[in-house]
């Protein structure tokens, strides 16, 4: 598996060190580099990022302040020269805390922690797919806690990512299920249930209005991510 990561650090030297180390690890891919934390918000909204290398002491918005602002952050490895923030970092559930300057072997150990967690999540989600009923005809079965719901395709309005879970909004209820949007993309037809954003799959037939970079389904406005816009527009033109 590939680990998609971003670097947030106001020091060019820190960028170069992390980039060099990542180049030596074949399963790590840098998806973005930012000198200001606020500039990373767009890529976090529109792309699936597994890991952030996050500095703490940055101008205007510190790394910890930025982390607190994220409702559903990826895994985070703190990279800093300040030991006094370690407790705060771990209270925010960071994966590891690397003190600058850190050697490659220490960096690799942190990456391996991330890999173990991500592979464990992937295995759990794959097991969810294996134990779920494959959809036939006009419905699929969705597991939620100790219950399994029969959900008709025609009843689905949209699906929203919620960390390791999804929220499936139907005509008359909302179901929370332990799986990812990727899993549902495998099950659902992209022609009728396109993914329009890192966090949303929608039912094409339930879209009331497309306005700018949003679609409206009932009273809900859902964003169209930049990385999904082209394919979505092609789909709209073909129907």
Query: Tens digit of pLDDT for each residue in 52-85?
Result: 999 998 888 899 999 999 877 899 999 999 888 8
Over the chain, what is the mean pLDDT? Answer: 89
Report field, pTM of the whole predicted structure over 0.75: no
Residues 92 and 78: their CA atoms lie apart, in Å, by 11
Beta-sheet pairing, 3-8 with 28-34? parallel
Residue pLDDT, tens place only, 9-61:
999 999 999 999 999 999 999 999 999 999 998 888 778 899 999 999 888 88
d(CA 222, CA 229): 13
**Is pLDDT of 129 > 90?**
no
Cα(16)–Cα(59) distance, integer angstroms: 20
pLDDT at 144: 87
The length of the chain, given as a count of residues:
239
Alpha-carbon dihedral sign for residues 186, 49, 47, 175: positive
């Amino acid at each position: 598996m590939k680990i998609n990561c971003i670097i947030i650090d106001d020091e060019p030297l820190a960028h170069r060190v992390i980039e060099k180390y990542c180049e030596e690890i074949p399963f790590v891919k840098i998806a973005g580099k930012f000198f200001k934390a606020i500039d990373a918000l767009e890529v976090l909204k529109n792309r699936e990022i597994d890991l952030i290398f996050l500095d703490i002491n940055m101008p205007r918005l510190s790394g910890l302040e930025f982390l607190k602002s994220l409702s559903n952050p990826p895994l985070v490895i703190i990279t800093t020269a300040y030991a006094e923030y370690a407790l705060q970092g771990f209270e925010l559930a960071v994966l590891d805390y690397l003190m600058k300057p850190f050697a490659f072997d220490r960096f690799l150990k942190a990456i391996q922690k991330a890999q173990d967690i991500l592979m464990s999540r992937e295995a759990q989600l794959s097991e969810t797919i294996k134990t779920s009923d494959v959809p036939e005809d006009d419905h699929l079965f969705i597991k939620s806690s100790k219950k399994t719901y029969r959900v008709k395709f025609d009843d689905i309005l949209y699906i929203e990512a919620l960390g390791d879970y999804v929220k499936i909004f139907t005509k008359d209820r909302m179901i929370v299920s332990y799986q990812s949007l990727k899993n549902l993309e495998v099950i659902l037809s992209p022609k009728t249930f396109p993914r329009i954003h890192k966090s949303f799959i929608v039912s094409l037939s339930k879209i009331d209005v497309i306005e700018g970079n949003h679609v409206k389904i009932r009273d809900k406005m859902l964003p169209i991510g930049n990385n999904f816009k082209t394919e979505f527009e092609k789909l709209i033109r073909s129907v």
